[in-house]
Each structure stands twice: as structure tokens, then as C-alpha cells.
Amino acid sequence: MSRTILEVTDLHKDYSQRRGLMSMLTGQGRVIPAVDGVSFYLRENETVGLVGESGCGKTTIGRTVLRLTDPSSGRIVFDGRDITKMSRAELRPLRREMQMIFQDLDAGLNPEMRVRDILREALTVHERPGDAEIASRIRELLEQVNLKDSKLANFPSELSGGEKRRVGIARVLAVRPRLIVADEPTSALDISIQAQVVNLLRDLQKNLGLTYLFISHDLPVVELVSQKVAVMYLGRIVEMGLAERIAHQPRHPYTGILWSSLADKQNTEVSRRVRNVTVERERRAWGVFDFEQPASGCRFAPRCPLYKEKGRPAICTDAASEPQLRDVGHGHVVACHFA
Amino acid sequence: MDALLLAIENLRTYFYSRAKRAFIRSVDGVSLDVARGETLGIVGESGSGKSVTALSAAGLVTAGPGVIGGRIELASNGARRNLLDGLEKYARVTERDGRVMAVEKDERGWRKHSETLMTGVRGKEIAMIFQNPRSALNPYSTIGKQLVETIRLHTNFKGEREAKERAIHWLDRVRIDSPALRFDNFPFGMSGGMCQRAMIAMALSAEPSLLIADEPTTGLDATIQSRIVDLLAELKAETGITTLLISHDISVIQRLSDRIAVMYGGTVVETGRAAEVLAPQAPARHPYTAALLASIPSAETIRRKSYLQAIEGEVLDTIDVPRGCRFYGRCNRVTEAIRDNCAGLEPPLGEVAPGHKVRCWLYPAAGKA
């Protein structure tokens, strides 16, 4: 079994929100727990998919584990080293090993620089290679991301979406990372181009032994690329396990709804129960993700089909017994009293 | 009564790229029909011209030169009106070898005349809903006020009180809970899904004959998307409203459309009944449609963890349109027998089965048409 490259324990990230006259006067803001006690690990050369609706904290996790933003509490261990409290100087040599692919196609592509210079800059951030080596590394990178060398003289604005994505990936590969957090790497692309990029990312993983934390709301793609999938809801992981189990034998009601809403759009058979529930849920949850007035107990209870079906059991809304992740076998963990 | 509500014929909408000193041929000879009560789904990638087609129909293209030719006929009050009627005298198009070389357009004259033609049509006969509902709603006004304004302007409910009642009726019809309370909400207090529901209420409250839904689910969360699709399906069943639905999401198109038009590079490459165009084993199919369907992970692909069938190359840039088939450079089904045609001649949109048309040299029927 391959070794663990990233281990995250009880990660919290709070954002404070200042709104209204009172908080302005008192200087105190409300605290919004974007990530609220998340633990997981990544094994080398493996892909873990992170799914959930927008605002659930997926991207915040991605940014926090790379220390692009500082955690409020918890522990992040990268390759055996605790990076939670490392200073910028201590982190610097590690930065090259952990990289991020951003959702925004233009992220990291200086509009004033040609593709050649963008790649050259990436190659010389951590090292001082000679010109000949730079040239050969650039050629190698182009080959890896399948980009024509005629594009080297182009500015980012002259590239198509797919080409920008490839340059962005080449830029990340330039520092020879081991762990890549891919935050919605395909969502800004056209369907036909998405497939190319998904294939490319899988090839790179195979050839370079990369480890991915793959953040996406595109469930079929997540299922395809990931060995394990973690489902997030309002800052917490509510279910995690092998990709095929999460997709086909979900134990948490929320996971079921996520997957069925996909099937639903395609008009395949879906249970009436799930349908009614989501309508009900949307009606109740006016702001949908209301961090400001979190339900006490299980945070999913207000939207939960099981909660209703079971006659609104008190345990679900008991503030003292928020469901914790527990093992249901086959490395599958679920945070639900009834799973 | 005329069975066709909307007939678009040979529509051309061009823009000008200053950087490249060339025309962007966004919509390049598109013909589409929408029958009363049906939903026509236009599917395509970015730059295929699907949104510009819809904007042209609603008279909302503002950049130059914009619409330069074609007919857009809308049946209203028992008569057919060409929404581009008489506009040709404001634009002079110089063509050589079937390519537009220059356009001289009196933009002010065109706009003025177009606005006259669109008065009483846009908003009333043709209503639109857009992607990103929050930005389409007025942030300074409650959704109730915005609805009342639409209703008083476009329907016979002219009084303040009756218009308010009507507005609440529409909020209820789009399944917004406690509509009387929501009436006084501002858009910022509402979730994206709720804003889209309010937008739909607003569009339908004018009782239009045609609803144009341009990417109505894009940008919403997965679970909310499927609820909006559900709502559109229910409203379609209840009101029978004629809809022109535009989406890049085949699953949305599949769920809601009676007929489908697949667009690529500013042209329609395939059109037909939804069931036929998207059938798993279609007897005739445009290679682009086939590739589009194949690039979505299927259950089989996921199970075997195999590669996705990607379409090679990039989406066609409509500035530099090739002479032959627009999909030729990315097509994997070119055979030696048809290669010369594919490379040199644009295939016509030919009928391969009743009501099913494909723009491809693979199908002899298409060649004859």
C-alpha cells in the first residue's frame, strides 16, 4: 500500500463577517465556520474527489491544506511534516511539491507575458537552470500537456479556453509537484474540451505519479477520476468512501439527493420521495446555506428525507448529539444517526 | 391558426473583431422553426451561435454590425410579422464567393426601425429568462414591484390591486413558498434558485406567446438545477407555452425539448425530434452530435474507468471559417470517398428521415438535398 502524503485532522477555518451597525461599533463580527472539523488523508498516486454544493467549503479546504490561507485550528501533515504552523520561509521549499489548479482559466497567466515567458518564470522560481535546460524543459512540458510549440509566442488572450487550461497545467508541472489540488479544473470549459482535460489529468497522474485532491461539482467526472470521494455539507464531511460505493450505495441521505438530482435532470427513474423532499427543502431553506442560523444537531436535518420519514426524531435536532462519522465497513464512513 | 409560431430563415448575425480585422460569423445562415406549444432545444458549445440566435430573435443584439440578413417571422394575432421587415435598406452587404466582404450599416436607422418593430413584441409576445437571474433582476426594487410593473404594462390587469393579486398568483405558480410574504423581498435576500423562479414568474406574467430560456440552469447548484428543470417541465405541461430553450447541458435539453437543433460554428448541423437526435442508436447522426454525446462519462466508461472519448482540437473560431464542412478539422468519420467534399464544400442540411436533418456528406440523402 502506498504511503500517506497528506493528512488533515480536525481542520477548522472560520471567516468573520462584519455586517450592520452593531458589529461596526463593537468591532465584533459573526463567525462563519466555512470548514468545521474535517479530517481525511490522501495516499500517494491516488485521487480523492471532494463534492458538494457551492458554499459548502470545498474550495476553502483546498486552499487551506496548501496553506494558501491559514487554518483556524486543526493539523495538516504533508509528507510527514506538520505544516500547520510553518512560517512562510519554512513553507517555501515545500510550495513546489504542492500546487493548485484554479477554476479560473486566467489564474496565474500574466496577460502581459507570452506563453514561453510564463513557463520560463515557473521553471526558474525554485531553481536556476541554464538556458539549454530551460528550453528542453519547456519542450517537455509542452509535450506533457499536448500543446503545439507554435503557441509559445502567444499571449494568454490569444489562446482558447482549452489551451489556457493546458498552459496553466504546464505551469504547475514546471515545479514538479507531488500533490495537486485541482479546484473545478474543467467547469469553465466546453463539454468537448472537458473530456480532453480529464483524460490529460489522468495521463499525467499515471506518468508522473501525481496525487490529486479533485474538487468538483461534476459528479460523473468525480466518480470517473477518483478512487475515494468525500461528500461535504455545510463545512463538514458527511460521507466518505470508495467512489463506486458513494455513487451507487450511498448511505447518507444527502449523497443520495446529490446523485439523484443528476439522474433527475436526465429524466431517469427517481423516487418520488426524493423529489418531494428537495422541493420541501428548498422551500424551507430560504437562504439555502444558512451558516448564520445553523440547525442544532444534524445540520442536514431541515432538508433530510429520512428525518421527515422517521417522524422527526428528537436525536436529529439535539444540539448535544451532532452525528459523527462512523465506519460502516469497507472504509466507508457516514455521519448520520440512521445510516 | 398558423401552426408555426416562430420561423427563422437564413439568419446572419456578424460582429467585427478590430484586433483581427475580420468578421466574427456568430450566426451564419441559421434556419429554425418553432411550432406552437413545442419546445425547441438548441444545444451547442460556446461560440456556436446559440445565444446570439436567441438574442437576434428578441432584437437584443447591440454590437455592430449585428444582424445583417434573414427573416424572423413571428405569428401574432393571426398574422405573421417579420421582425426584420424593411431593415435590409439600412444595411448593404458586399459578398464575394458567398463570403461577406464588407457591411455598410446605418446603425442608428436600423436601431430606430428595429425598436419600432419590436414594440409590443419584446416582453409581451417574446419573454426571456437568462443565466444568472440575480443580475437580471433589479437589485433596488422588490420582486413584487418588478412583477407588478410587468403585469400592468403587458396585460389587462391594470389596477394596482389586481396586478398585485396577479403577481402573487404567479409567484405561487412558480412554487415560491408564502408568495404574499416574498412579494416584498429584494433579490439579494433570495437564493439563486429563488431568483430564477422569480425571473420565470416575471417572464410568464406577461403571458407571452414565446418564452426564450437562455441557459436557465447554468450557474445554479446541481440540486437546484434539477428543481428548475422540474419547474420548467411542470409549467410547460400546465401552460403549454412555446419555448426556445438554449443550453450547453444536453441533459437539460433532453429532459425538456420536443425537438432539438445542434449548433456548431454558427450553423445548425443537425435537427430533428429529440428522441431521434439523442437516441442511443441513431441510424443517422452528425459526427459532432455523436462526439458530444460520447464525451459525457457514461455508466460504462465509469465502471471500466476507461478514457473519455474527447473531440480532438478546439471549438471552431468563427472568424476563420473553413471553406468546407465546419467540423472537418475535428471529425473522426471522414472517409476517402467524401474527403474532397468535406474539405472543399459546405454540406447542406439534408433530410435523412422525415423531420430529421443532418448537415454531413456521410449521408447521401443530405448530399442530394
**What would the mean pLDDT of A13-32 be, rounded to a whole number?**
71
- What pLDDT is recorded for position A269? 38
Digit-coded pLDDT (tens) for B354-364: 999 999 999 86
Find which of A12-16, A182-186, B217-221 is predicted with most confidence, using mean pLDDT: A182-186
pLDDT digits (tens, 9 = 90+) for A135-153: 999 999 999 999 988 899 9
Average pLDDT, chain A: 86
Residue B41 lies in a domain: no
Q: How far is CA B266 from the centre of its chain?
A: 12
- To the nearest whole number, what is the mean pLDDT of chain B? 89
Which residue in chain B is spatially nearest to A192 when comparing CA positions? B311
Q: Can you give the pLDDT at residue A275?
A: 42
**B250 pLDDT exceeds 70?**
yes
Q: Say whether pLDDT at A277 is over 70.
A: no
pLDDT category at A282 given cuts 50, 70, 90 is very low
A120 or B77, which is more confident: A120
Residue B268, in any domain of the structure? no
What pLDDT was estimated at residue A283? Answer: 38
Last residue of a domain, one of B207, B234, B254: B207
In which band, very low, low, confident or very high, does the pLDDT at B98 lie, cut at 50, 70 and 90?
A: confident
Most confident of the ranges A262-266, B122-126, B134-138:
B122-126
Of B194, B302, B310, the CB nearest to A192: B310
Contacts of residue B33, Cβ cutoff 8 Å, sequence gap at least 6:
B4, B6, B7, B8, B40
Does residue B145 belong to any structural domain of this protein? yes
CA B293 → CA B3, B284, B288, distances in Å? 31, 14, 9
Write out pLDDT tens, residues B257-312. 999 999 999 999 999 999 999 988 888 899 999 988 888 888 888 888 888 888 88
Domain of residue B313, residue span:
289-368
Question: A228: pLDDT confidence band, cut at 50, 70 and 90?
Answer: very high
pLDDT-wise least confident of A174-183, A278-287, B125-134, B319-328: A278-287
Total structural domains within chain B = 2
Band the pLDDT of A264: cuts 50, 70, 90: low
% of chain B with per-residue pLDDT over 70: 98
Q: Which of B153, B183, B207 is the last residue of a domain?
A: B207
pLDDT at A278 > cutoff 70: no
Model confidence at B193, pLDDT cuts 50, 70, 90, reads: confident
Per-residue model confidence as pLDDT tens digits over A54-64: 778 899 999 99
- Domain for residue B295, yes or no? yes
Tell whether the model's pLDDT for residue A287 goes beyond 80: no
Check if B4 contacts A (Cβ < 8 Å). Answer: no
Q: Which residues of B touch A219 (CB under 8 A)?
A: 222
Structural domains of chain A, with CATH = 4-97+177-242 (3.40.50.300)
pLDDT confidence of residue A272: 38
Choice between A286 and B242, residue whose per-residue pLDDT is larger = B242
Position A22 scores a pLDDT of: 63
pLDDT-wise least confident of A89-93, B32-36, B77-81: B77-81
Rounded Cα–Cα distance for residues B311 and B314 (Å): 8
Residue B142 included in any domain: yes
- For B10-68, give the DSSP string: EEEEEEEETTTTEEEEEEEEEEEEEETT-EEEEE--TTSSHHHHHHHHTT---SSEEEE
Nearest CA in chain A to B179: A283
Report whether B125 contacts B75 (CB < 8 A): no
What pLDDT is attached to residue A274? Answer: 42
Q: Which residues of chain A does B226 touch, with a Cβ-Cβ cutoff of 8 Å?
A: 261-262, 264-265, 278
B334 located within any domain: yes
Chain A / chain B CB contacts < 8 angstroms: 117
Model pLDDT, residue A44: 95
The one-character DSSP state at B151 is: H
Confidence of residue A21 (pLDDT cuts 50, 70, 90): low
What does the block give as the cell for A252? 447518507
DSSP state of A332: -
| Mean pLDDT to the nearest integer, B33-44 | 95
Q: Can you give the pLDDT at residue B94? A: 86
Which residue in A has a C-alpha nearest to residue B190's C-alpha?
Answer: A287
Determine the pLDDT at residue A320.
Answer: 84
Boundary residue ending a domain (B170, B185, B207): B207
- For residue A196, which residues of chain B lie inside 8 Å, CB to CB? 310-312
Q: Are B122 and B58 in contact (CB under 8 A)?
A: yes
In a domain, B182, yes or no: yes
pLDDT of residue B43: 95
> Which residues make beta-bridge pairs with A11?
A38
CA distance B186 to chain A (A): 13
Q: Please answer yes or no on whether B314 and A160 come within 8 Å at the CB atom.
A: yes
Task: Check pLDDT > 90 for residue A327.
Answer: yes
Q: In this predicted model, which residue has the larger pLDDT, B74 or B251?
A: B74
Where is pLDDT greater, at B324 or B78?
B324
Q: How far is A218 from chain B (nearest CA, A)?
A: 8
Considering only CB atoms, which chain A residues are within 8 Å of B308? 195, 198-199, 224
Selection from B88, B50, B91 nearest residue B245 by Cα:
B50
| Residue B243 in domain | no
